[in-house]
Amino acid sequence: MLKDAEKRTVTEDGRLMLEKAEKDRIETVWDRYAAQTPQCGYCEMGLSCRICNMGPCRIDPFGEGPRQGVCGADADIIVARNLGRMVAAGAAAHSDHGRDLVEVLAAVAEGKAPGYGIADPDKLKRVAAEYGIETEGKPPHAVAGALADAMMGDFGSRRKELSMVRRAPAKRRELWRKTGIMPRGIDRETSEMMHRTHMGVDNGWQSLLLHALRNALSDGWGGSMIATEVSDILFGTPKPSANTVNVGVLKADQVNIIVHGHNPVVSEMLLQACQSPDIIDLAKAKGAAGINLAGLCCTGNELLMRHGIPMAGNHLMTELVIATGAVDMMLVDYQCIMPSLGKTASCYHTLMISTSDKARFPGMTHREFHPENARDLARDLVKEAVENFGRRGRVYIPVEPVPSLGGFSVEAILGALGGTPDPLLDAVKDGRIRGAAGVVGCNNPKIKHDYGHITLTRQLIENDILVLDTGCAAIANAKAGFKVAEAAEYAGPGLKAVCSALGIPPVLHMGSCVDNVRILLLASALADSLGCDISDLPVAGSAPEWYSEKAVSIGAYFVASGVYTVLGPMPPITGSMNVVKLLTEGLNDVVGAGFAVEPDPEKAGILIRRHIESKRKQLGLDA
Ligand code: XCC
Ligand code: SF4
């Protein structure tokens, strides 16, 4: 048996699948990570630069070699520029995803997107009204067209302030204006970051980092928020619903189709096709008991939130899910899809399909989805998956799935509370709930798989802190069994009483990574009710196993919105103590919140609890 499996993951399905992968001689992300270690020390510290062709350059952290690049940039400049570009890439990824949804909204308005529609006309009206669009007496399609147009305006440079920043507390907006970090256009801030970090432009490490906050805010209060809101309008605003998670959601006797990536535009059409009676009949004619659609990563979260579709796993499970031999087809769109997957699948019968015009992968067949052809293409592909069912070899599905509850949009949470945040606030005020923490983000082979998420979450709920989670963290916590009403047992006495009264779990699944904006909106609602700023609230954020540039952008917009945020893995900034100090201390004076880095989730939990208790004291809650 693989001696390393237990060092690599805390999950049972992960361990068993790692052993299976070893037997099948499948190389995994952990093997490739081991082959890369020790990783480059200059890069780890953020001290290497390849921004221009006078370089590449590197700064000697011990002061024995060069202290400047060829252009004269020092460690502070190089570290800040590198971090700024990480934020830009992350913000671009989320925001471009948002733009794709706006394009579908526009196509729906024009009647050019067969199969898509407006699933939540009330939300369409509400959001359109925020954009100043007249909705009275207008048919939904006309409103959708006008809203798509207005949202496109947020991407460019025609605005002084993004439209949806109006949802932030007034004090927060004033602070953004005063410090010059109010986001103006979504693409503009990313583009300006690329400009500033070109050789010979912004060489102030402080001004670069401030712009990084503005760039991140253009994601959180712009691109990601548009992605979430338009997804709700097109596909429905999530409501609590039951689902199941882990590799055990695959079915030995059914056609298994997996969607992986981020954009619900593709996965929603797959779901429709998988539910078509004629295709289900076809599957039965081929000897399958039915068609089983399951998700991976965030597009899986999108389907789980809105339709209770089962979730096969998170980021580090994506290769291992294929190694079951039970996946008849995997469809990917973009982001977090390891380029290794095609090779993994070549050892099994799995058909691998790439679907986005902007994302190609070795060893996959490219079948491009557009609003006009999506419905028909999805049907064709599901039929091909059905045909492929008969080509399966032996399958290995070693665990039973775990039940879980998802679908906690802000609308659903407020609904469960009777329409206002007051019951939640009362519980916070009287101390039954000490505060709330977001546990979000990825997996990273530098941290034992899911250990960070589960350990931190368990400690928080034991100490009466409500956990809100998204992304791969949410999948880890669901697999750990934290998301059924009975999980209230794991919570401290106060949180347990509140959860039992409301019939909710102590860990609320709020969606995919763009859905982190739901956490921002909930925090804003709480701050507004208390008449304070987000930075005054007993709340915190964390990304215990983050890997992606998107996570850097998320962390930065949380902090810029006033949420203290604890990162697990260290970002590549230790080459500049100035940058480290500004991010961990200095920002408190600028935006009322800062970062901390703590790879040990037990200690991260202590940091968060200490922070929440100090905020309670400042608010006079325990006087
Ligand atoms: Fe990707 Fe969103 Fe990270 Fe998971 S959590 S590894 S970004 S899939 Ni977003
Ligand atoms: Fe070197 Fe400066 Fe060019 Fe970076 S920008 S590669 S530090 S010369």
> Which tens digits make up the pLDDT trace of 108-127?
999 999 999 999 999 999 99
Task: Determine what percent of the chain falls in helix, strand and coil, rounding each to the nearest 5.
Answer: 50, 10, 35
**Residue 2: per-residue pLDDT:** 53
- The 8-class DSSP code of residue 166 comes to G
What is the average per-residue pLDDT within 426-445? 97
**Residue 622: per-residue pLDDT:** 82
Q: Does the structure show a pLDDT above 60 at 41?
A: yes
What is the average per-residue pLDDT within 88-106? 98
At 331, which helix (H) or strand (E)? strand 329-332
Distance 120 CA to ligand 1 centre (A): 26
**Residue 3: per-residue pLDDT:** 61
495 CB near ligand 1 (under 6 Å): no
Buried/exposed 583-607: b ≥16 CB within 10 Å, e otherwise: beebbeebbbbbbbbbeebeebbeb
Q: Which atom of ligand 1 is nearest to the CA of 315?
A: 6
Lining residues, ligand 2, CB within 6 Å: 49-52, 54-57, 69-71, 73, 78, 199
Q: Which atom of ligand 2 is nearest to the CA of 72?
A: 2
Would 75-235 and 247-389 be classified into the same CATH topology? no
Distance CA 560, CA 217 (A): 7
Q: Which of the four pLDDT bands, split at 50, 70 and 90, describes residue 333?
A: very high
What residue owns the CA closest to ligand 2's atom 6? 55
472 CB near ligand 1 (under 6 Å): yes
The amino acid occupying position 23 is K
Tens digit of each residue's pLDDT (9 = 90 or more) over 449-474: 999 999 999 999 999 999 999 999 99
Tens digit of each residue's pLDDT (9 = 90 or more) over 2-28: 568 999 999 999 999 999 999 999 999
**Residue 158: per-residue pLDDT:** 87
Contact 562, 533 (CB under 8 A): yes
- What is the CATH number assigned to the segment(s) 408-618? 3.40.50.2030
Distance CA 213, CA 208 (A): 9
**Residue 206: per-residue pLDDT:** 98
What residue owns the CA closest to ligand 1's atom 2? 298
Kindly report the length of the chain: 623
Contact 542, 566 (CB under 8 A): yes
Mean residue pLDDT across the chain: 97
State the CB neighbour count (10 A cutoff) for residue 233. 28
**Residue 488: per-residue pLDDT:** 97
**247-389: which CATH number, 3.40.50.2030, 3.20.20.210, 3.40.50.150, 3.40.640.10?**
3.40.50.2030
Contact 208, 84 (CB under 8 A): yes
Tens digit of each residue's pLDDT (9 = 90 or more) over 471-495: 999 999 999 999 999 999 999 999 9
Degrees to nearest 5, angle at CA 130 with 133 and 184: 105
Contact 517, 558 (CB under 8 A): no
Q: Strand, coil or helix: what is 467?
A: strand
**Percentage with pLDDT > 90 across the chain:** 98
Tens digit of each residue's pLDDT (9 = 90 or more) over 247-263: 999 999 999 999 999 99
Q: Which residues pair with 27 in a beta bridge?
A: none
| DSSP secondary structure string for all residues of 198-266 | STTS---HHHHHHHHHHHHHHIIIIIHHHHHHHHHHHH-----EEEEESGGGS-TTSEEEEEESS-HHH
What is the average per-residue pLDDT within 302-319? 98
Distance 57 CA to ligand 1 centre (A): 31
What is the average per-residue pLDDT within 281-304? 98
Of 108, 557, 546, nearest to 315 (Cα)? 546
Q: Which atom of ligand 1 is nearest to the CA of 443?
A: 6
Distance CA 466, CA 340 (A): 37
At 151, which helix (H) or strand (E)? helix 140-155
- The 8-class DSSP code of residue 9 comes to B
- What is the CATH number assigned to the segment(s) 75-235? 1.20.1270.30
**Percentage with pLDDT > 70 across the chain:** 99
**Residue 220: per-residue pLDDT:** 98
Distance CA 413, CA 422 (A): 12
**Residue 328: per-residue pLDDT:** 98
Tell the burial category of 198 from Cβ atoms under 10 Å away from its Cβ (0-12, 13-18, 19+): exposed
Distance 49 CA to ligand 1 centre (A): 26
Q: Report domain extents, the chain.
A: 5-58, 75-235, 247-389, 408-618
Tens digit of each residue's pLDDT (9 = 90 or more) over 564-591: 999 999 999 999 999 999 999 999 999 9
